[in-house]
Amino acid sequence: MHTAILFLELGAVLLGLGVLGALALRVGISPIPLYLIAGLAFGTGGILPLATSEEFISVGAELGVILLLLTLGLEYNADELVTSLKGNAVAGVVDLVLNAAPGAIAALLLGWGPVAAIAMAGVTYATSSGITAKVLSDLGWIGNRETPVVLSLLVFEDLTMAIYLPILTAVLAGVSFAGGAVTVAIALATVSVVLLVALRYGRFIEAFVSSPNSEVLLLKVVGLALLVAGVAQQLQVSAAVGAFLVGIALSGELAEDAQALLAPIRDLFAAVFFVFFGLQTDPAKIGPVAGLAALLALVSMVTKLLTGAYAARRAGIARAGQARAGIALIPRGEFNIVIAGLAVAAGAHPDLGPLAAAYVLILAAFGPLAARLVQPFITAIAKRA
């Protein structure tokens, strides 16, 4: 009986997503906001809460993020990543300062204390790699000149998260400075080792993964990405970073073949990720903090637009590309919710969770929609230039 209900719920969710996706295509908008709203409807406090399939959807959502970042990494090789990171390190620091500040300042002004301020800084800082990857793919921006700049900023943020999350966990738990330093050192060492392997031994990884049989190739690529993602997660580093680095370790014809095989699986689990994000939010708790969340979201939109424009301008990219870079950085998602969840579980402040959920939901929905709506204006600017 349990299995039958699981199949019924999953079938209804996936079929509903298909209908919403078709509606989005007909209207000409990104399907992401509709997927998020579907998650609200099926989650706690929604119209029809799921009874048995939420745990399965949770795992599917994690797979969605990993596959999104894996396919994004397949677009670039390790040399391009390192060059881009070196060239955009200053922009990465600007991104950190501009976008962590609104959350920290808001928490302090509300009187939530320094621990909540550290958590809120992370909530407003990190762009959703998963949603941004989907936006870049949906709008055909992957091949644009500003895309490597956007990706370097996303990787910089993910690497910053590899340092930030252990620090936040230590602060929330009240552990000693020495204990927190050990956790951070392990995270940094893990990222360094994975990046070194991708840079120096990428050809050996390609030789191991390569296969003339599409089934074998798909199994090897997905298996390797999940293995590295699991190791990274176990060592307090983002699983998304691990999957991304696996992607950049593969290049050439092998990467192209892998992308073609992964595309339908990625799209399926990416849709599940957006639904799960909505499932975690109780609609009843959003109302009281909606105004504050909207104000914080507006400030964050401006700071991300400034970040993208600054980084793209430093790379010699024209105004249209600067605008696209800023818009691509607006969405918030997986990291932000994880950070808020850690803070709420540790008792940082009872209002932090609903505020973060409302804030992220606004930007997760508005970011892709804004990118779609301003595309004609950006095209006009590019033609005029």
Going from N- to C-terminal start, the domains of the chain cover 33-41+63-379
Comparison of pLDDT for 283 and 115, the residue scoring more: 115
CA atoms of 153 and 90, how far apart (whole Å): 10
Question: Residue 359: CB partners within 8 Å, gap ≥ 6?
Answer: 123, 124, 293, 296, 297, 300, 332, 336
**What residue type is 36 in one-letter code?**
L
Query: What pLDDT is attached to residue 226?
Result: 92
Work out the average pLDDT over 51-59.
72
pLDDT digits (tens, 9 = 90+) for 131-163: 888 788 877 788 788 888 888 898 788 777 767
Q: Specify the residue for token string 């696996």.
A: 246
Q: How far apart are CA 275 and CA 12, in angstroms?
A: 13
In degrees, rounded to 5, the angle at the alpha carbon of residue 344 between the alpha carbons of residues 227 and 67 is: 25
For the stretch 29-46, pLDDT in tens is 667 778 877 887 877 666
CATH assignment, 33-41+63-379? 1.20.1530.10
What count of other Cβ atoms lies within 10 Å of the Cβ of residue 261? Answer: 17
pLDDT of residue 292: 93
Q: 290: burial class by Cβ within 10 Å (0-12, 13-18, 19+)?
A: middle
How does the average pLDDT of the chain come out, rounded?
A: 81
pLDDT at 193 over 80: no
Q: In Å, what is the CA distance from 158 to each residue of 28, 130, 169, 242, 335?
A: 31, 12, 16, 10, 9
pLDDT-derived band at 103, boundaries 50, 70, 90: very high
Q: What is the DSSP string of 238-255?
A: -HHHHHHHHHHH--HHHH
Q: Which residue has the higher pLDDT, 196 or 22?
A: 22
- Residues 91/311, Cβ–Cβ less than 8 Å: yes
**What's the CA gap between 281 and 40, in Å, rounded?**
6
In which element (H, E) is residue 259 found? helix 252-279
Rounded Cα gap, residues 248 and 70, in angstroms: 8
Q: Of 22-26, 251-255, 340-344, 359-363, which range is least confident?
A: 340-344
Structure tokens at 312: 């793209």
| Weakest mean pLDDT among 10-24, 80-94, 182-196, 353-367 | 182-196
What count of Cα atoms within 13 Å lies in the side-chain half-sphere of residue 237? 26
Could you give the CA distance from residue 129 to residue 156 in angstroms, rounded to a whole number? Answer: 11
Question: Residue 93's pLDDT band (boundaries 50, 70, 90)?
Answer: very high
Whether 95 shows a pLDDT value over 90: the answer reads yes
- Rounded CA separation 343/349 (Å): 8
Who's near 351: CB < 8 A, 6+ residues apart?
110, 112, 289
- Name the DSSP class of 288: G
Q: Which pLDDT value is given to residue 102?
A: 95
Model confidence over 213-258: pLDDT tens digits? Answer: 999 999 999 999 999 888 877 776 667 777 877 887 787 788 888 9
